Structure formats: structure tokens, C-alpha cells
Structure 1
Amino acid sequence: MKGILGRKVEMTQVFTQEGLLVPVTVIAVEKNTVLQVKTVEKDGYAALKIGTFAKRENLVNKPDMGNFKKAKSEPKRFVKEIRDMDGYEIGAEFTAADVFTAGELIDVTGISKGKGFAGSIKRHHYSRGPMGHGSGYHRGIGSMGAIINRIFKSKKMPGHMGHEQVTIQNLEIISIDNERNLVLVKGSIPGPRKGHVVLKQNVKGLKARDAKNLLNRSKKAAAPATETVAETPAE
């Protein structure tokens, strides 16, 4: 497993070398610092605790400041653990180009936008009732506890919507700008602008390959198979 921490900047669109217009999300990925190396023998699992984006010392409590001093690092604003990641020692720094390459598929995890209190139609995509002909039911939740006169747990009801951890899988890295510390990922990712995100190696689904090879492979699969008939020599 490999990964890195970043911050969502904005969405835009770029042209590929083949002339295709691709929507991308710009992610700022500054140098990540290894703050702690966790091992199976000591902690029960293997992981790297990494951090990025500087933070003022007066905003850090004493326990966290002690962890930063052990790694000989300045305080970091965004700190996360990535399981089963190795190859770095405490205090080491790495960039996106050290971890990923263009054309690779990754999983992006972030906190989605908060929508506040929302009804059942917006939150769970329920169908509304008829809007005319004297109907008294429009956007209500409908029957919730018929016959048994109670509501089961996990019933989909109105409530707080958004602001939860969301992971989008198998997003392609279009390009990596190591000079400006930017990573361009195809498509959209969860979270608002300036929201912190985790970029990790894809864990299931498509393997790392570029879109051109994938397109050529699908064309070959769609083409009908032609059978070759051996010609018999004329007598």
C-alpha cells in the first residue's frame, strides 16, 4: 500500500496528448513528512503516520507537539495514518512524484460537503406524492411504522446530510506537476475547496493502465471473431 496527503484546490479541464478534453480535479500535494512508523511487534499493525501543511505552534497542544519534536518536524495541520505502507523512516519527506506516476489509478478519500438538515426526498431520494387533485401528501416521509406501531432502527428519515467520509475509487492520475506540487486527477473528488483528502493506491477494480490501452482492449473485445477456413487444393 502507498499513499499521500493533499488538499483539494478546484476543478478544471485539460487536453490530453490524444486531443481529448478531460475534466480534472486539481489537488495540492506538498511534501509529506513521516511522523511515526508503527510496526506489528510494537503497535499490533503496520502503518505510517504522515503529516503535511504547516501549522503555527501556538495552535498545537503539548502531546502533539512532543510527537512532532520526536520526528524533528514542524507542526502539521493534516495528519493521517496509512495502513501497510512502508519504505520510509521517521522524519523522511516525500512528494507525489515519489509515490505515484501519471496514468495510475488511485482511491481518493475526503469529507463530503455538509448540507445541513435535509428531508427524505433530498437525503434518500424518496418519491414525492401527487401535487394536485386535492392530495394532502406532497413531500412527507409517508408511513413509517404501520401495523406494528413502532419505528425500526436505521429507518431512512430526515436528518443531517453530508459531512461524512466518502471514498471514490479508481480515479486516473492525468499528470503530476512536481514543481508546483499539483496532482491532476480525472473526475471529481469529495469535499469542498481547500478540503483535505487522502490519495491511496486503488484496492480493488481496475489495475493501473492508461485509458488508451483500455479503449483499444474494449474495441478488440467488441469486434466479431473471424474464422479462417483452410482452402483445399484443386484436383
Structure 2
Amino acid sequence: MSGIIGKKIGMTSLYNADGSSVACTLIEAGPCVVTQVKTVENDGYEAIQLGFGEKKEKNTSKPLAGHFKKAGTTPKRKLVEFKTFEKSLSLGETIDATLFTEGDFVDAIGSAKGRGFQGVVKRHGFGGVGGQTHGQHNRARHPGSIGACSFPSRVFKGLRMAGRMGNNRVKVQNLQILKVYPEQNLIVVSGSVPGAKNSFVILEK
């Protein structure tokens, strides 16, 4: 599938012809450089590796510096592979927002915002333990009982409990491209895209 690496700029809204408002996300899509062309003979599979975002050379390892030098480009912050690209690309070639046209549908992949360590009420929507009567003075947001007694004498795996929330890979499918601004490499997609502002986003056709 074809795709591009981008950066989430933020959210805004556009208006339809009937005056209704549509929530949308502004994404800086590219420019991305082809840093490697993988083939079945050399790598066992076919893929196109793209690089996006500038990175200081002093913060780049020597193996990666040689990797980027072979492609004839500066060090990049984000590398992503795309399989079965719709058009043939050569090493060092650049792709940008012109890969998409208005009306296309894409899938957006990003890392959700990290929420830290959260309790069961926020993480799983639990109601808490009772009210403030009958001695329940300090358990309003507690999980309650978590397991059986003498049998099976353990807590089953997968039980919903407190823990780390967010910061996981999320894929939102079938977002429509509303506007394309090739001069600024900007794409406006309908709906929300996972991640915080200035976070990396992968758009797949």
C-alpha cells in the first residue's frame, strides 16, 4: 500500500455548502525521501523505506549516517516502510502531498496521547464502590473485589485494573481528504487523528 509520513499540526473546521461544520485535522505530509528500496533478492521482501523530518548529524549513529549518505540525503528523524507501493520509486527520490488528491480515503496511524498511570474509573469506566454511606467513606473510585476466595485462589489474567493508559498505536480508518495544499505540503483530513500536536502520523492509501 502507498503512504507517506507526516506531522500533525492541529485541528480546525471547514464548512460544507449547506453551512454545516466539519471537524478536520491539518497534517504536514512530507516531503519524504526514499532512503531504501528493499527487494526480494536482497531483503526477502519488497518494500519502500521513507524518511521524514530533519535530524542533527551529531545525534545520528554512524551506521545510520552511512545509510542516509547512500541515499544522498540528510539524516531523518522518522523511518517507515511501505509495502506494495503503487508506483516504482528510486533511491533518493522525494514524494510529497501530491501523492493524494481531494476526495481520497486514507488510514491514519499514530501514537495516542499518554495518560500515565490511571485508576479503573478513568481507564475502564468503572462506577466505583457504592456511595458515601454504610462505611464507604474512602472507596469511591476503588475497583472493589478482584478475585475469588480459596478457589481458584488467584486473579484471572486480563482482569481490568489500574495501570498505564494511552501511548499506544492507534489506526483510524477511512478518513476523507478534504483539501490538499501542495505548495505547503499540507493535507486536511476529516475527523480526528491519533496523537498530540507535532507528533508523527502515517497516512496509508
Query: What TM-score does the superposition give when structure 1 sets the normalisation length?
Result: 0.80
- Per the TM alignment, residue 135 of structure 1 is displaced from its structure 2 partner at its CA by 5.0
8 Å CA contact 2:4, 2:30 repeated in 1: no
- Alignment of 1:161 with 2:165, yes or no, is yes
- Alignment of 1:151 with 2:152, yes or no, is no
Using CA pairs below 8 Å that are at least 6 residues apart, which structure has the higher relative contact order? 2
Separation of aligned partners in 1, 2:17 and 2:46: 40
Separation of aligned partners in 2, 1:43 and 1:18: 52
- Alignment of 1:81 with 2:81, yes or no, is yes
Find the structure with the greater CA-based Rg.
1
Residues 125-145 of structure 1: per-residue CA shift (max 9 Å, x gap): 223222232252422222222
Separation of aligned partners in 2, 1:40 and 1:119: 48
Separation of aligned partners in 2, 1:199 and 1:30: 10
Separation of aligned partners in 1, 2:46 and 2:124: 38
**Partner residue of 2:130?**
130
- Alignment of 1:61 with 2:61, yes or no, is yes
- Per the TM alignment, residue 15 of structure 1 is displaced from its structure 2 partner at its CA by 2.0
Separation of aligned partners in 2, 1:154 and 1:41: 43
Separation of aligned partners in 2, 1:30 and 1:49: 13
Separation of aligned partners in 1, 2:203 and 2:148: 46
Separation of aligned partners in 2, 1:78 and 1:58: 16
Give 1:6-17 correspondences, 5 Å limit.
Answer: 6-17=6-17
- Per the TM alignment, residue 9 of structure 1 is displaced from its structure 2 partner at its CA by 0.6
- Per the TM alignment, residue 29 of structure 1 is displaced from its structure 2 partner at its CA by 1.6
8 Å CA contact 2:37, 2:49 repeated in 1: yes
**Partner residue of 2:52?**
52
What percentage of residue pairs aligned between the two structures are identical? 39
Residues 71-91 of structure 1: per-residue CA shift (max 9 Å, x gap): 011111111111222521111
**Partner residue of 1:141?**
143
- Per the TM alignment, residue 62 of structure 1 is displaced from its structure 2 partner at its CA by 0.4
Give 1:1-235 correspondences, 5 Å limit.
Answer: 1-17=1-17, 19-85=19-85, 86-97=87-98, 99-136=99-136, 137-147=139-149, 148-201=152-205
Separation of aligned partners in 2, 1:60 and 1:154: 40
- Per the TM alignment, residue 104 of structure 1 is displaced from its structure 2 partner at its CA by 0.9
Q: Partner letter of residue 29 of structure 1?
A: A
Aligned length: 200
Alignment RMSD:
1.5
Q: Partner letter of residue 9 of structure 2?
A: V
Unpaired segments of 5 or more residues in structure 2?
none
3-state SS of the aligned residue for 1:87?
A: coil
Q: Partner letter of residue 62 of structure 2?
A: K
Query: What TM-score does the superposition give when structure 2 sets the normalisation length?
Result: 0.92
Q: Partner letter of residue 97 of structure 2?
A: A
